[in-house]
Structure 1
């Protein structure tokens, strides 16, 4: 087994790139730092290329740095699981798509206000980043719009989310020609979402072909602002629409055949969720159910 002190020395050397600075940070002699690295190299082979004012990691050094990061993640996971005595204190980390995140974040803040010992760490991200963040244990729980097929991830339905056609409140939208006249407010997922929904609400219209683009925003919380100002229509998930402050300035144009997606709660399959995370998940489900009634 590799001595933890040697690993810490190597981790600091990779970070600072200089033996003298590492010795100063750790409060030991430079000779001690050199001895730790020499002990590691005796076991693992050459780790660094020593230069006058810096070092460069060799392949074995890069591999060891990855190992140090794995050890750090495992240590954090252990502390997380062992600190479940009080489910109302400690950190809960959650990573979600932006649309559902707009609805969840105020609820999480409500919970944190009621429980000052609880720390909420919430990030908005697309599915690919959610999967990677949970797999690498950077976040304990995540939400995805597609169920992951990786056996290392456990997944269960969390809630549903419909796509909605949202237009300015003061525009009369009765058919396809009305949308063409208004124009489309695009966003990073706009083309794909609009294609799916418009094909059902207006079959035979050809999707977005012939619809002028009237604007674009990559900020989930701002996509509906130009719609509210009468500049165009868009297609956006229901939770993002519900989170918009000026509901009186927009309207949802509903069809007879909605597009409804399942959002999946994901976590590491081999690790049980902390009591804090389970408490947060239960709370969010209850609040979402209450708001949808």
Structure 2
């Protein structure tokens, strides 16, 4: 398990072996606040340029391209998605493969008209689909690019506006979960409604409305279980685990009366969920593990300011 956190005005990466309890603490640059599910951290310098950092080797890896302002990673961490302008001045997106040895592999460029006008960019687990939302005169659409065939397709969005940070691909199927809100600004608002979209058929299915007004979504980590059979949603101090087949759910309360959830991630086994809780009264943050079989919580770390989590096999 990798836990990126701050303490005493310094940033650290704790690599925790849950089987032995051993902890290896590494110092990391303060601009590296995003974990990436290989051996990298995603970082940005003062000019906003994105780069990769290998904490084990203490080395910097530059991403091919100039002026890169954002990066998305596939669910399994094997691909990066980011905006570029090619030598002919065409705007588009690059898909960069991460090789098995943790080094940068081949990249492919895909021209996207008016790439600066799209939002909620995302990449499927195997890099074969790029999706994003675009606003047209008649409303929002999901545009999907099949990177293998080069074909585009559009899926019309009906109902509330989609929210930028609230989108997540299934790790196993061409299915996307996204959030929507009644608030007009689609970027800095939480989601109130959740939907599933089948990218193959275009069918959109309503999942749930937030029981506590809004859903807490965690764009740095996937809400899907590793087998793609379940996904979790948090709202206030309640969270529910949904099954993809019938959208049945089991709901639970996080410990404490004044607690909320800042971050959560599945264990690789799909049997546990790591949750960062915050106590609004004590201004206190803890890391806890929820056991799906026992349906119980266990304390892991107390009073830590965590930026990002990554639970590795």
TM-score category, normalised to shorter length: under 0.3
For the pair shown, the structure with the greater C-alpha radius of gyration is: 1
Higher relative contact order (CA closer than 8 Å, sequence separation 6+): 1
TM (norm. structure 1) is: 0.23
In terms of fraction of residues, the more helix-rich structure is 1
